[in-house]
Every structure is written in structure tokens, then in C-alpha cells.
Chains A and B, each alone.
Chain A
């Protein structure tokens, strides 16, 4: 073993060299290439107790082979790891804590593992540092949560270790940059090793080891919404969004949430939107994953550009055929990048629209429910006013004027504001009211001993609340009481909605703070599924000219 001279200024580099030296002697390790069955020994040689480790778990792409390998290391050698990764989606991500390999966690989203995470926390098997937005966690990779070892996933590598991530680049560049340039170590699992990569997404000298996984990395189609499941009420709310908000403000750049409500908007642009003469006036630029539901709008010429956080299974060939719309490499396939798309969504978009499970009377909203610690991924970043924004647009300026009109002092200084719309049916399935006096988040904070209740979007960032009963424009509210009544005034027959001050709600309606469908010239009886540009998955395939190939589970023909 080489002894590396220790200087007080190069300890991290020396430590890295020592780790690489331990790995180089292992059977199955030839330069950068590692045999699959040597990976557990490799991880034991590379990782030291207490290390910060990023096990790439993105919103969609998972380094699943390396995750399994990490659960197989000897806890006597590798323990007390501090996991720093955006998404906990595989059981292995939590097995690490159960097995005593890891003990501390900083993350963004844990949707599928939220219940088990709450359980393990309750049993004292892990400590949570914080729950972040994606961009916030990536930011901390470069400040105080820099990974010592990162275990990542790519589509292919060449003999030198250059990586091709394929369409799901997602978090990989942010993770690798933070690790490789701070004397850390990067291990990549790839689906194949080839002579010539279609393109280089990550250069070889940022990568230390490459292993061909026995199975391709798992990718989840998270953004596919079957139009057959869109309800008439969602069509009604989509009509209200287009006519009452998008057209009203002239929204050019935007991000949509993941739900059926926003899928309905996408599918109404080429029909209802076209009828209103809005083509070219709204929705031209998007920070959005390649939603299949956007295909009809793209085909009808509504969409100029889409930059994506990740890809979506089945959309590969369609994207390849539409490089004027999507960001693609010289090889033709999509280049996604979660960090850049989150930055774009925050700073370069006029509007974010999404849904929630609960909203309180201050407009705070949360998808956190008791017994589940889920986090919010990118929503808090998208659904927040970008206070650093300086470039003007019609929508941003109008929102800012409405919010600041008549205010004194610093609060009255002219500036724009991001439109943040919460679109929610007053009752969810099983008659759960979406409007509540107190969010479950408060009880959850107490249970899980969190510093703050896990609020997804803060009430003072929300500009519009859209329900089947109407749109509440919170920008026009001048005090807390008006805000509260504006929210109650669209909260329908939920207990919180029935507690409205009817006279005040009528006054707010007269001022245009609350607008009912009829105030917008929308007859709810016109809200039929016939307005959807595609009513089935098959319609989406047809609209794409056969280029979209939905995953099997979405195919029922």
C-alpha cells in the first residue's frame, strides 16, 4: 500500500487516495471496471463509518443495484452513514437504517416509503436532518452536505468511464459535480458498457468506478395520467384555470404539477383554449417533464419549448421527433436535468399550478398526513415567489401590481410576483375535505419532533385558490380576514366552507376577489369530457402519430 504524505491542507485528497488504494487490490476490480459480484467488497473498501453517502434515488431513476449492494455490506465495517439523496423510493433505501448501516438522513421526497420512514423515525432507528426541496438539497451538496461517496446510475459507459445517462439524466450531474470536485468517490452502475457512447453526459475523469448491473436501472413512469380518469369536475376547473387565470394574466411560461387536474388543463388547450382564441397568447414555454397529456397541445402548435427535470417512459421516440420543442443531445435523445429545470421553474416561469391534500384558512397547504413523512420534492421551490427575479413579463407585473396596489413603504415598491395557484376539488375521494381549520402537518411535526410543520406551499406565496366553486384571488385581499373569507368562499360544502361569512363573501365577489364559474362566463353544464383533446391513452398515441409508446400497464387495448 502506498503511504501518502499528510499535509493539513490535503487531508481529503489523501483520504481519497487511501480509499482508492484499498479498492485497487480487490479481485474483480480492473482499473475503473468492477465485476458485479465484486461490488459489495468494493463498497466496504471505499466507504468509511460516518461517511456522507449519496445513493442516487431520483424522482424516477434509481441506482437500484448499488442500493441492494449497499444493504449487503458488513455493518461492523460500514456503519453510521449519513445518507444525502433526493428521493427515498426503494425499500433498500430504508433497509440501510434497519440494518444499522446508516443512521442519519437528509432528503427531499419519500412518497412510496413515507409510512415506513415515519415508523423507523418513531423507533429511533434514524435521525432526519431536514426535509428539503430538490434545489435546496442540491445547494447543500455544495455547502455543508457534500457527499464523500456517491453511488449513481447511468444508461451506458465506455471503457474510459464516460457516461451516457439517457433521457433520465435527472440529478446525476449535480451529485457527481459535488462529489468529484471535493475529493469524493463516484461509483456508477450502468445498463451496458459500449465502445462508443451516443453522447457523453458525464466525463470519465469525474467517475472512479463503473459496474454493469445485471438488470437495467429501475425507472418509474410517474407523470403519465390516463385521460380516461379525468372527471367532469376536473374539466370544469381546467376551464376556469384557462379562462380565469391563464388568459387573465397572459401566462407565457409555466410549470404544472403531476395530477389529473393539471392534465385536464393540458388536454383542454387545443379545444377550449383554441375556442377562446388563446393559441400563441398563453402557455408557450414550459418547465415540465414530458407529460403524455401535453402531446395534443404540442401537435396543435401551442408549445414552443419544454425543459424537463427527468423523462417519461414511452415518450422517447416522440421527443426524438420533436427536437424543436424538447432539449435533446446531438444523438437525438432527451437531456433532462433536475437542478437546471428546478432553477428554471423557480426563476423563469410566471406560474406554478398544483394540487394539495389539505389547505388551511391562511392558505397554507400540505400533502403531509399523519403517520407519513413524505416531503414535497420540487413543489415548495416551484410554488414560491422568486424574490430574486428581476426580469419582467406581463403576467408577473400584473400579479405584482394586484398584490402591492396602495401599500406603503417597502411593501409598496413596484415589483412583480409569481402566480402560485392551488387547484383542488373541495372534497377529495372518500369525502375527505380538502379545506381544514388545522393542517395535519402540525400534529405530524409534534409526532416526528420536526422544527417546523411540513408545509408544502406557504399561504403567503399562494396567489389563487381554484376549486369547483370558484377562484379566490388572494393577491387582491388586503388583510388576513379578507384572505380567510376568500378561501372559505371557495371551500364549498366542507365544514370550513360552510363557516363562511356570507355577506363578506358576497362583497369579495362583487370586488372580483372571488369569481364563480358564471362570473367567468362558464356554464358548469358545458364541462364535459368531450372537451378533452384526448379521452383515452389510445387517443394520446394517435395524437402522437404512433410515436408515443405507453408502458404496458397503461395500455388496455
Chain B
């Protein structure tokens, strides 16, 4: 899409999850985002972000680093399609997605 920015992050050293079915939460709508979580081989956590709001790389990095610190999961790929959601909404959707694959810490 014109004007979209694509960002890639990778975090290591996560706890591998038992096999899980991919999960999709959220919607692609203004101020919202869609998060898709899929299994991947290895212990890494890769996160790909497509966002309509350009120039917020450092905030994405902080939000996603915090997410990884919170859950510490490996063996997954997270794909985000964002339409200008605030960090609060991004964190909430990520937590919902992890719940949906049964990876949430209580």
C-alpha cells in the first residue's frame, strides 16, 4: 500500500511453545491493527510490521521489546498490519494473540 512503512524485528532466547494453530486477532481499521501469530522453527521470535503511520520505528521497537520481555516466547512469527493504533492498543492485541495460542503466562 502506498505510504506504508515496513519494519522487521527479531528477538532471541524465547521459551519454545508446544505446537499451536495460527491465530488472528484485531481488525485493520483506523486506530486499530490486526495481529497474526504463526508457528516457526527455532527459538526466535520474528515480528514483521506493516504500518500506515510512518516514522515511529523507535516506539515500535520499545513496544515490541517490552512484549518480548513480558512473554519471552520463541518459535513464532508475528505479522502486524497497523492502521495507526496507539501503543496501548498494540500491546493489548499482542497479549490477546498470545492468549489465543495458549502462550499467555497467567
Return B30 CB to nearest CB of chain A, in Å.
9
A160 at the interface (CB under 8 A from B): no
**CB distance B62 to A426 under 8 Å?**
no
Q: How far is B86's CA from A232's CA once the two chains are assembled, in angstroms?
A: 12
**CB distance B95 to A525 under 8 Å?**
yes
B87 at the interface (CB under 8 A from A): yes
Q: Which residue of B lies closest to A432 (CB)?
A: B86
> Contacts A493-B63, A498-B62; is A431 near B88 (CB within 8 Å)?
no
Q: How far is B91's CA from A426's CA once the two chains are assembled, in angstroms?
A: 13
B21 at the interface (CB under 8 A from A): no
B59 at the interface (CB under 8 A from A): yes
B10 at the interface (CB under 8 A from A): no
> Contacts A429-B31, A493-B59, A493-B63; is A525 near B88 (CB within 8 Å)?
no
B89 at the interface (CB under 8 A from A): yes
Return A318 CB to nearest CB of chain B, in Å.
32
Q: Which residues of B contact A468 (CB under 8 A)?
A: 88
Q: Which residue of A lies closest to B98 (CB)?
A: A525
Return A235 CB to nearest CB of chain B, in Å.
10
Return A19 CB to nearest CB of chain B, in Å.
56
Return A499 CB to nearest CB of chain B, in Å.
11
**CB distance A430 to B89 under 8 Å?**
no
**CB distance B96 to A525 under 8 Å?**
yes
**CB distance A233 to B92 under 8 Å?**
yes
B53 at the interface (CB under 8 A from A): yes
- Interface flags for B36-57 (1: CB within 8 Å of A; 0: not) read 0000000000000000010010
**CB distance A426 to B88 under 8 Å?**
yes
Q: Which residues of B contact A492 (CB under 8 A)?
A: 87-88
Considering only residues 53-106 of chain B, those with a C-beta below 8 Å from chain A are 53, 56, 59, 62-63, 66, 84, 86-89, 91-92, 95-96, 99
Return B99 CB to nearest CB of chain A, in Å.
6
Considering only residues 415-439 of chain A, those with a C-beta below 8 Å from chain B are 425-427, 429-431
What is the total number of residues of chain B having a CB less than 8 Å from a CB of chain A? 17
- Interface flags for A424-462 (1: CB within 8 Å of B; 0: not) read 011101110000000000000000000000000000000
- Interface flags for A112-127 (1: CB within 8 Å of B; 0: not) read 0000000000000000
> Contacts A430-B84, A524-B95; is A233 near B89 (CB within 8 Å)?
yes
> Which of A233, A426, A430, A498 counts the most chain B CB atoms within 10 A?
A233
**CB distance B86 to A524 under 8 Å?**
no
Q: Which residues of B contact A527 (CB under 8 A)?
A: 92
A425 contact from B53, B88, B91, B96, Cβ within 8 A: B88
> Contacts A431-B56, A493-B59, A498-B62; is A233 near B86 (CB within 8 Å)?
yes
Q: How far is B85's CA from A233's CA once the two chains are assembled, in angstroms?
A: 11
Q: How far is B66's CA from A236's CA once the two chains are assembled, in angstroms?
A: 19
Q: List 17 additional A-B contacts (Cβ < 8 Å) besides A492-B88, A493-B59.
A: A231-B31, A232-B92, A233-B88, A425-B86, A426-B88, A427-B86, A427-B88, A431-B86, A469-B88, A492-B87, A493-B62, A493-B66, A493-B87, A498-B62, A524-B92, A525-B95, A527-B92
A-B contact pairs, 19 of them (CB 8 A): A231-B89, A232-B89, A232-B92, A233-B86, A233-B88, A426-B86, A427-B86, A427-B87, A429-B31, A431-B59, A431-B84, A431-B86, A469-B88, A493-B62, A493-B63, A493-B66, A493-B87, A524-B92, A527-B92
Where the two chains meet, the residues of A that have a C-beta atom closer than 8 Å to any C-beta of B are 231-233, 236, 425-427, 429-431, 468-469, 492-493, 498, 524-525, 527
Give 9 closest A-B pairs by Cβ, nearest first.
Answer: A468-B88, A427-B86, A493-B87, A233-B88, A493-B62, A493-B59, A524-B92, A525-B96, A493-B63
